[in-house]
Amino acid sequence: MRISKDQIQDYNKKNKAEHASQFDFLSQVISAKGHDVNAILQKLQNFQVAIPSWALGAGGTRFGRFGFQGEPASLEQKIDDVGILHALTQTAGAISLHIPWDIPTDYTAINQLAASHDIVFDAVNSNTFQDQKNAAESYKYGSLSSTNKAAREQAIAHNIEVIKIGDKLGSKSLTVWLADGANFPGQTNFQTALQHTQDSLIEIYKTLPNDWKLFIEYKPYEPNFYSTVIQDWGTSFMLANSCGDKAYTLVDLGHHLPNTNIEQIVATLMLKGKLGGFHFNDSKYGDDDVTVGSIKPYALFLIFNALVYGMENNPQNPYPAWMIDASHNIKDPLEDLIQSLEAIQEAYAKALLVDQKSLTEAQLNNDVVQCQEILQDAYRTDVRPLIAQARLTSGGVLHPISAYRSMHIRKNLINERGANSVASGL
Ligand code: PSV
Ligand code: MN
């Protein structure tokens, strides 16, 4: 199903008057503080977040999966779902594919379908964390780090294949996340595993087209519980440096031990020009993958504050690739993704409201109280009318969740696809 421009206009008409007064008030408040409202709106409109093809189903845990009706059963339907998200929010203009879960059969048709929704293909993701049917080698004991040369070669070849698939879709980056590690002390030799990983990544890197980037993701634990080969940003950064200029670290918010200062990691990587990509989610205990901003919204704001500072002051760092990497478990995946998109825009808008000049002055004067006042003044601003205005100007709806519900989108999807359709992926 597709959402028509008329549906969007009809919805907005009913809510416009209330919005206009809220937006006027907020514009006055923000302008009085010296901000250029139009410049902020433009930045919000430009900010596009990729939706992973594996996040359009309900997901689940290793203890079970409770499907959500009307899930997209094919790549085409997944692209349609992102089209729905993008039509409503105007901030989901990209999809990120996981291979082999989503290999296109007809590239021309897939490219046309995505273009018809105004969607581009963001990073392609390889999968060497599961054994594929009829594969010669198993990844049970690792992939790029394996002690088995044939398994390493198979994993390298898979990544090269993923680059080729991405190339046909107009993707410009490959994300590598490795499950490699050890479940038990003594199981692996840390140095050999790291060296194999580095050598394998360099082999993949050699085949990267000139205008592509390689993103190296890190994660401290899970699925391995004793050690992960690329466990932290430092290891990823080191590997990216050994590959070359086109290799970068990718930060996934859920891939940190509790209380890690992620904003500081962001600042360090951007200073060094090595923050390539970002996966958004939220968590309480580990890699919980819950809705962005649902648990630690202030931490998300502080991370965005570091990102905004980096985007404005670190020309050595490329514009990062943004993606949501969450699992919805018991929610309607599309509603959950809308909530995540809104939380991302909200944190970004608040970070754009930080008075950077006054903050620098307060830092120079070591006025600690004033530093906190400046950050919290921005954080405490209710920016929702600003985000709604950005959406409205781009052709989206004022209030995406309420629009999604009033348009009965899930009901229509169930009618089209049936109650029992299940999305591939996690
Ligand atoms: C791993 O936990 C991860 O964050 C990586 O980005 C994967 O590609 C994705 O989730 C899906 O498994
Ligand atoms: Mn991730």
Residue type, 264: Q
pLDDT tens track for 277-295: 999 999 999 999 999 999 9
As a whole number of angstroms, the distance between CA 319 and CA 373 comes to 29
288 lines ligand 1 (CB under 6 A): no
Which residue, by CA, sits nearest to atom 8 of ligand 1?
A: 177
pLDDT at 426: 62
| Ligand 2 center to 31 CA (angstroms) | 37
pLDDT at 425: 65
Q: What is the pTM of this model?
A: 0.97
**Backbone Cα Rg of the chain:** 22
pLDDT at 62: 76
As a whole number of angstroms, the distance between CA 231 and CA 394 comes to 40
pLDDT at 58: 85
287 lines ligand 1 (CB under 6 A): yes
- Of the candidates 215, 228, 111, the one whose C-alpha atom is nearest the C-alpha of residue 179 is 228
- 124 with 175: CB under 8 angstroms? yes
Ligand 1 atom with least separation from CA of 129:
12
Residue 259, phi-psi category: left (phi > 0), alpha (psi -120 to 50), beta (remainder): left
- 81 with 417: CB under 8 angstroms? no
Which residue, by CA, sits nearest to atom 7 of ligand 1?
A: 177
Which residue, by CA, sits nearest to atom 12 of ligand 1?
A: 426
| Ligand 1 center to 354 CA (angstroms) | 32
Query: Which residue ranges in the chain fall short of pLDDT 70?
Result: 425-426
